Amino acid sequence: MPTTRRSRALEAPPERVWELVSDPHHQPRWWPGVSRMEGVEEDRFTQVHITTRSKRAIRVDFHMIASTPPEDGRPGLCSWEQEVIGTPFERVLNEAVTEVTVNPDGAGTRVEIALIQRLRGYSRFGAVMLSRATKARLDEALDSLARIV
């Protein structure tokens, strides 16, 4: 199961970073490719991506797995899973889970984003290419977080 991890130290208090990563309403500000959010509830949300060539909206549904804020020097964890069953993503993915860890680090915060993807069928042969693309996407997310905070 390919897991891609990227981390970065940010010059912001953990509470500020947590506020951004734990609230799906903020994802268009920092998660690559998300143009807006729909159907945000306590335990689920939908990302809307606009493809550049066709200008079609692609909706990707997620449900929350964990949301534990950082406190008393302990790291916070926010994780969500993509709903793939019954969607076009089901052809290539068995599972896709995103985990964001917010760790107090001196006067700042260390953020780690992990994307765990279990590929289906022949898609498994593209794991190396997927890993490269995922690293770039996670770096872009961390760059955006750094700009915001």
pLDDT digits (tens, 9 = 90+) for 53-67: 777 888 999 999 999
pLDDT of residue 54: 74
Dist. CA 113–CA 84, nearest whole Å: 20
Asked if residue 122 has pLDDT above 50, the reply is: no
Which domain CATH number covers 64? 3.30.530.20
Q: How confident is the model over 20-42, as pLDDT tens digits?
A: 999 999 999 999 999 999 999 99
Dist. CA 39–CA 3, nearest whole Å: 28
Mean per-residue pLDDT of the chain: 88
Range of the domain at 30: 3-148
CB-based contacts of 93: which residues, under 8 Å, 6+ apart? 82, 84, 117, 118, 119, 120, 123
Q: How confident is the model over 68-117, as pLDDT tens digits?
A: 999 888 999 999 999 988 887 777 777 899 999 999 998 899 999 999 88
pLDDT of residue 55: 76
Specify the number of domains making up the chain: 1
Dist. CA 2–CA 64, nearest whole Å: 20
Q: Give phi and psi for 113, each to the nearest 5.
A: -115, 130
% of the chain surpassing 70 pLDDT: 91
Separation in Å, CA 13 to CA 112, 131, 139: 15, 30, 20
Q: Are 56 and 50 in contact (CB under 8 A)?
A: yes
Does the pTM of the predicted model rise above 0.75? yes
